[in-house]
């Protein structure tokens, strides 16, 4: 028997420490004005020593499980999207599952950098539709402060820490809540975002910016085509929160109506890589800008250069 899939609940975790642009200006030669104008960020969060990919991911996941109203014993698979787990063994998913008391689920980490959450949603939806899993926890959790070069003003002002999560389960009413994924990559451009020998991020910002603004509108159109929707019937657009100018440029190119809500969590959270899309969804829901049943187009993109996106129904 096949089932539809939907997001049943979401959750987030934001570290308590807020780092403003003025705080950044005490670390590197920059200014609030430069950062706001070029990237749109005002604040970002920084995890403390006790806050890790595992603890933040578990906290966001616990909220998503409560929001979904599922029992942990009904979760069959835990997927953790992360690119900042320092020390890749043991991976994060089984440790998060244990923290939550989920009894022996399938547990795997996946790394598609900032696109990881949308890849995870797609894998989760397929597992639910095929009957392999009843419920899947999809978590994006990042402690990017661990892999940031705090001497490089071109990158350190961009990134933040945090986690977001979703429970994907059956759509018993038969209405599909997670649309077909559009994914792809441009490995020939992968030198645009890499790591140095100290395991710190290195980025060719302008090259990424040009690629993103040139490529992403076409990817959004493909997602809509595959879903059988036009842009006018979307309620919201939640792109990976890399740069407010990229988000607004894509929205302008697509000529989205004024009534389409746009995720702008980057202003308060910075770029949190795989966590940015569920964090942005959570903040839109918390502010009442989107509500249950709204159709949101999600699109993650980043190192690789990999991307993935789909239309989902807001829980
Ligand atoms: C990173 C980014 C904000 C940089 O903005 P930019 O307009 O491209 O800036 P540039 O790198 O060309 O640098 C322009 C100047 O600003 C300077 N600059 C860089 N960072 C600065 C900072 N934080 N504060 C002040 N000046 C800065 C540079 O040194 C350079 O100075 P110069 O002209 O004297 O050499 C922008 O390129 C960007 O957002 N790119 C996309 C990033 C992205 O999407 N990444 C995805 C990761 S998942």
Q: pLDDT (tens digit, 9 = 90+) per residue, 199-240?
A: 999 999 999 999 999 999 999 999 999 999 999 899 999 999
DSSP annotation of 271: B
* The predicted structure's pLDDT at residue 3: 76
pLDDT bin (cut points 50, 70, 90) of residue 258 is confident
In terms of Cβ atoms closer than 10 Å to its own Cβ (0-12, 13-18, 19+), residue 1 is exposed
- Atom 8 of ligand 1: nearest residue by CA position: 206
Average pLDDT of the segment spanning 159-176 = 93
**Predicted TM-score (pTM) above 0.75:** yes
Tally: H helices and E strands in the chain: 10, 14
Average pLDDT of the segment spanning 242-271 = 94
Q: Which of 22, 154, 193, 210 to mutate to test the pocket of ligand 1 (most atoms within 8 A of CB)?
A: 154
Confirm or reject: Cβ of 270 under 6 Å from ligand 1: no
* The predicted structure's pLDDT at residue 1: 53
DSSP annotation of 43: E
Average pLDDT of the segment spanning 79-99 = 96
pLDDT at 174 over 80: no
Tell which residue, 203, 109, 98, has the closest CA to residue 149: 203
Residues belonging to the active site? 114, 240, 271
Q: How many angstroms does the Cα of residue 206 sit away from the middle of ligand 1? A: 7
- Report the SS3 class of residue 203: strand
Confirm or reject: Cβ of 208 under 6 Å from ligand 1: yes
Cβ pair 281, 204 in contact under 8 A: no
pLDDT at 2 over 80: no
pLDDT at 64 over 90: yes
Average pLDDT of the segment spanning 26-31 = 97
Q: How many angstroms does the Cα of residue 287 sit away from the middle of ligand 1? A: 31
Q: ∠ CA(84), CA(89), CA(90), 5° rounding?
A: 105
Confirm or reject: Cβ of 244 under 6 Å from ligand 1: no
Q: How many angstroms does the Cα of residue 6 sit away from the middle of ligand 1? A: 38
Rg (Cα) of the chain, in Å, rounded? 18
Share of the chain above pLDDT 70, in %: 99
pLDDT at 173 over 80: no
pLDDT at 293 over 90: yes
């Amino acid at each position: 028997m096949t089932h539809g899939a939907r997001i049943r609940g979401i959750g987030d975790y934001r570290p308590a420490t807020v780092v403003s642009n003025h705080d950044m200006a005490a670390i590197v030669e920059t200014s609030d004005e430069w950062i706001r104008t070029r990237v749109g960020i005002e604040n970002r969060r920084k995890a403390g020593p006790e806050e890790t990919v595992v603890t933040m991911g578990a906290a966001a996941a616990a909220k998503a499980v409560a929001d979904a109203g599922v029992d942990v014993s009904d979760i069959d698979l835990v997927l953790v999207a992360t690119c900042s787990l320092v020390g890749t063994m043991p991976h994060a998913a089984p440790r998060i599952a244990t923290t939550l008391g989920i009894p022996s689920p399938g547990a795997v980490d996946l790394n598609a950098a900032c696109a990881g959450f949308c890849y995870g949603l797609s894998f989760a939806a397929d597992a639910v539709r095929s009957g392999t899993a009843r419920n899947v926890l999809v978590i994006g959790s990042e402690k990017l402060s661990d892999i940031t070069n705090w001497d490089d003003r071109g990158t350190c002002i961009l990134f933040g820490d945090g986690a977001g999560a979703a429970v994907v389960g059956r759509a018993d009413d038969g209405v599909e809540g997670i649309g077909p994924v559009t994914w792809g990559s441009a490995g020939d451009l992968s030198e645009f975002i890499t790591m140095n020998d100290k395991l710190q991020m290195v980025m060719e910002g302008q090259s990424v910016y040009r690629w993103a603004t040139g490529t992403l509108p076409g990817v959004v159109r493909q997602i809509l085509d595959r879903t059988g929707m036009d842009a006018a019937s979307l309620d919201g657009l939640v792109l990976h929160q890399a740069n407010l100018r990229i988000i607004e440029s894509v929205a302008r190119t697509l000529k989205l109506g004024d009534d389409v809500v746009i995720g702008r969590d980057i202003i308060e959270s910075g770029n949190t890589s795989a966590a940015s899309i569920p964090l942005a969804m959570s903040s839109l829901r918390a502010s009442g800008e989107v509500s249950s049943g709204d159709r949101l187009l999600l699109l993650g993109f980043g190192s690789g250069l990999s991307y993935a996106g789909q239309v989902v129904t807001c829980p």
